Structure 1
Amino acid sequence: MTQHKTRHHYIRDVLKIVKQRNHSEPVFIQAVNEVLETLGNVVEEHPEIEEQNLLERLCEPERQLIFRVAWKDDSGHVRVNRGFRTEFSSVLGPYKGGLRFHPNVNMGVIKFLGFEQIFKNSLTGLSIGGAKGGADFDPEGKSEDEVMRFCQAFMNELFRHIGPKKDVPAGDMGVGAREIGYLFGQYKKLTNQYEMGVLTGKGVGWGGSLARKEATGYGVVYYANEMLKARGESLKGKRCIVSGAGNVALYTIQKLQQLGANVVACSDITGTVVQKNGIDWEKLRMVSEDERKHVNYFAEITPDSEFCLGGKVWEVPCDYAFPCATQNELDDTDAADLVANGCKMVCEGANMPCTSEALDVFREADVLIGPAKAANAGGVAVSALEMQQNAGLERWSFEEVDDQLQTIMKSIFETCVHCANKYSTKEDYIAGANIGGFLRVAQAMLSFGIV
């Protein structure tokens, strides 16, 4: 794999503008740079991209919303948080992207996530645009009533801007089925309409899709499996490590185990837990989903596990690594540890979990990289399938949804292969994903004119 170099003058000019306009948003600038630096050959081949200034237009959101969220905690104190929604691009369909509730949420984070979502959604081949939203609210340690009151207060403003044909939020970090339920209930009350398609990630009994909970994690593994098959390899018998212990990590672990891999470690903010003979998935699911506890508690109730307080999962020897926690969680030092310990593939389950420096280390060592825009797209793909079921008042079986998910992930991989071979180098799936996602969006933008 080769490191990308930005040579085209138009790309350099747009990056300069983006940095000037968004100088206080480094993670957004990082995301834009990672995409644009791979597009040089595409811009050369399609001069209309520069003529119509598509790149600068694409890097500027169509709409950015910031709003106050005032709510009352259990002690009767009024709390104030900040809510966000960035409706980035609607050229392929209604805005689509999750809501993240976490203390580190700010406009720069939301813009980075929304920008990534444009290309991820494009790669699915489905009719969905790119968006992201959330709040700097921390659900950790809050009571059920406090979470409910916050979600209701958040929806009191957001409801004005969303709809099945306008903007369809979903869950993300800190927003699961519980939060989606409270948000949907308030939306229904405010609008006096039962619009199932306004939110995805709903409960299965009231408009949600089977396999939605599993979709992102399963999709990561399906994509990894396609990369390995292209090399004549497989997951069977391989040692794997997964960062995180939330929804994406949990179902990545489950699918890896179903396909014969040995997942020896996972992690969260408390540290890393190691089970050499394989993580006890059912117990981990119970701790994470049912009891909402951390992996240190999992280690306490699992006698054959080892727990390293504050330890990094990247220090555990493995064949394949799956970063599934959060952005920039894996830096160049971590990448060097993985390479030294024999890691041959990194498949991204979180959004942009590897720093630019970490990716350089992997490229230098010829580590196979599955980029988040492609590998992480299973969740939004099944969200779009949930929208289809809602529109047709249908409910598909788990097997039907899972079959469609596998087909979509295989198609995404084939797009990445084609674009990498045509515009970059073999197995450069980062460039393949960026270019494949961009081309579909660019064609639509050209068709619609300057709007």
Structure 2
Amino acid sequence: MTSGKQYVDSVFEKVKAQNGHEAEFLQAVEEVFDSLVPVFDKYPKYIEENLLERLVEPERIVSFRVPWVDDKGQVQVNRGFRVQFSSAIGPYKGGLRFHPSVNQSIIKFLGFEQIFKNSLTGLPIGGGKGGSNFDPKGKSDNEIMRFCQSFMTELSKHIGADTDVPAGDIGVGGREIGYLYGQYKRLRNEYTGVLTGKGLTYGGSLTRTEATGYGVVYFAEQMLKSKGEDFNGKTAIVSGSGNVAIYAIQKLHSLGAKVVACSDSSGYIYDEEGINVDTLKQLKEVERARIVQYLEHHPNAHFTPAGPDSSIWTVKADLAFPCATQNELNDADARALVGNGVIAVAEGANMPSTLEAIEVFHASGVLFGPAKAANAGGVAVSALEMSQNSQRLAWSFEEVDAKLYDIMKGIYENAAAAAKEFDAEGNLVVGANIAGFLKVAEAMSAQGIV
């Protein structure tokens, strides 16, 4: 009889053989696979159904060219992607990322993570992800509109309110969602909840903007409570200064913590008095400025340029929230945080900590909230937006925020319970992977070999 480890190892070897050039995707797969060995020992029928090999292969990958015309009248071409990974528990759901780094490996890496994250919310949404290597930075509104319209002209053939519901991600905010939605509506002649993160005047949900940032803080709150701790009087560092980071900082301040540092790709700022959220919003949401300009408003703050010898993770703090991008926090950063006495780390970005960094946190007894659990607030409220669209209703900010809190609390409790059941108590990486996997596995098994 094949053991769980033998089965998991054999499938991973196949995945490496077929996707050896996709480093990011293999990282995500390895992180999940390592957790699932005891599941297959307990449920050997999933081995018989070869469920893991089926799950790791996307149901569909769409790759397409995106031609558009810039303000100089020159034709530009980018590449677009949509990976529809798993529809076992609901329509594909996951963001669109516009960034020069986007390639098929990164989209598959994000989409595979999305399966488990969406499952953890307890809501009926499957896993998917998409995007383009288009860079919105430095582009005019008209250029971005023309790109979005071209991108959606192809993507519209593959999505729908009951098929695949994209949202925003890095480089895709309210402006981009508006242009994408307008083109979808124009092409399909229907007004449906096919995109989430929409503006409030055309079907968006209150709290969606704040959801991922608030959610990661709500998850961290549950981790601290498990040790009899709370946010009062604690200092925090939050990487990034985009949507997730801004609202994580805002919620941390409201719950009694003081965030002393945040960053963008140019470097990080340190403000001993606490990061001023209003200034940060003005710079990043209105002016789209670099974070160094924070000093013009708060001259006592300090700016450290990005470089190989500078890292926000060297700032002393009790709590750390990586909210910028994948693999931004490595083992050296983790050791620096541990050395400075950090007690909890919660991931607001998608897999921002390397596997080696996570090992450092676990070995040091640091509370660690993995992305697929801790940053699920955004997709949770996206699913709530879908519900409101289907019912032609709009809930209040307080209603959505209360539902978000309950969902994040439930994710923590389910992950903690799964970790305990499978002899990994306190390891929320293992717990989140197993809890997310089991729901999808049960659905796949029930639906036959499809």
Q: TM-score, normalised by structure 2?
A: 0.98
Q: Are 2:207 and 1:211 equivalent residues in the alignment?
A: yes
Aligned to 1:261, which of 247, 257, 262? 257
Q: Does 1:235 align with 2:231?
A: yes
* Aligned ranges 1:54-73 → 2 under 5 Å: 54-73=51-70
State the partner residue of 1:173: 170
Distance of 2:280 and 2:200 partners within structure 1: 22
User: Which residue number corresponds to residue 333 of structure 1?
Assistant: 332
How big is the shift at 1:365? 1.0
Aligned pair partner of 2:292 in 268, 293, 296:
296
Which consecutive aligned stretches of 4+ in structure 1 deviate over 3 angstroms post-superposition? none
> Tell me, what secondary structure is at the counterpart of 1:303?
coil
Query: Helix, strand or coil: the match of 1:39?
Result: helix
Which residue of the partner structure matches residue 441 of structure 1? 440
- State, as a whole percentage, how many aligned pairs show the same letter: 59
Say if 2:133 is the partner of 1:136: yes
Query: What SS does structure 2 have at the residue aligned with 1:87?
Result: strand
**2:244 equivalent to 1:248:** yes
Confirm whether residue 117 of structure 1 aligns to residue 114 of structure 2: yes
Distance 1:299 1:157 in 2: 43
Cα offset, 1:425, TM superposition = 2.0
Q: Distance in 2 between matches of 1:286 and 1:206?
A: 24
Deviations 1:36-79 (A, max 9, x none): 10111111000011100011100000000100000000111100
Q: Is the 8 A contact 2:63 2:81 kept in 1?
A: yes
Could you tell me how far apart the structure 2 residues matched to 1:248 and 1:304 are?
A: 25
> In structure 2, what is the Cα distance between the partners aligned to 1:240 and 1:171?
26
2:269 corresponds to 1:273: yes
SS of match in other structure, 1:67: strand
Displacement of 1:7 after TM fit?
7.2
Are the equivalent residues in 2 in contact too, given 1:267–1:312 (CA < 8 A)? no
1:154-202 deviation line (CA, Å, top 9, x unaligned): 001000001000000000000001000000000111111112x100000
Answer yes or no: is the 8 Å Cα contact 2:119–2:126 preserved in 1: yes
Aligned partner letter, 1:147: I
Report SS of the residue matched to 2:35: coil
Determine the structure 1 residue equivalent to 2:98. Answer: 101
Q: CA deviation at 1:211?
A: 0.2
Q: Residues 39-438 of structure 1 correspond to what in structure 2 (within 5 A)?
A: 39-195=36-192, 197-310=193-306, 311-438=310-437
Code of the aligned partner of 2:123: L
Q: Deviation digits for residues 351-406 of structure 1, max 9, x if unmatched?
A: 11000111111111111100101000000000000000000100000000000000
Ranges in structure 2 where 5+ consecutive residues have no aligned partner: none
Q: Within 5 Å, give how 1:23-38 maps onto structure 2.
A: 23-38=20-35
Q: Which amino acid aligns with 1:28?
A: F
- Preserved CA contact (<8 Å) 2:4 2:39: no
C-alpha distance in 1, partners of 2:349/2:243? 11
Distance 2:4 2:387 in 1: 42
Any idea what SS the aligned residue of 2:95 has? Answer: strand
AA aligned opposite 2:334 = A
Residue aligned with 1:111, SS:
helix
Aligned-residue RMSD, C-alpha: 0.9
Contact 1:267/1:313 (8 A) holds in 2? yes
Question: 1:236 offset after TM fit, Å?
Answer: 1.0
Answer whether contact 1:424 1:432 (CA < 8 A) is retained: no
Q: Distance in 1 between matches of 2:352 and 2:107?
A: 15
Question: What secondary structure sits across from 2:97 in the alignment?
Answer: strand
**C-alpha separation between the residues in 2 aligned to 1:126 and 1:104?**
30
Question: CA-to-partner distance for each residue in 1:271-309, whole Å, 9 max, x for gaps?
Answer: 010001100111101111111112111223321211011
Q: Could you tell me whether the CA contact under 8 Å between 1:424 and 1:431 is conserved in 2?
A: no
CA distance in 1, matches of 2:212, 2:362: 25
The DSSP-based 3-state class of the residue aligned with 1:108 is helix
Q: Measure how far apart 1:434 and its partner are.
A: 0.2
Distance in 2, Cα, partners of 1:303 & 1:48: 63
Number of residue pairs the alignment of both structures matches: 445
Instruction: Please give the alpha-carbon distance, in whole angstroms, between the structure 2 residues aligned to 1:140 and 1:409.
Output: 33
Which structure 1 segments of 5+ residues have no match? Answer: 1-5
Counterparts of 2:167 and 2:260 in 1: how far apart (Å)?
31
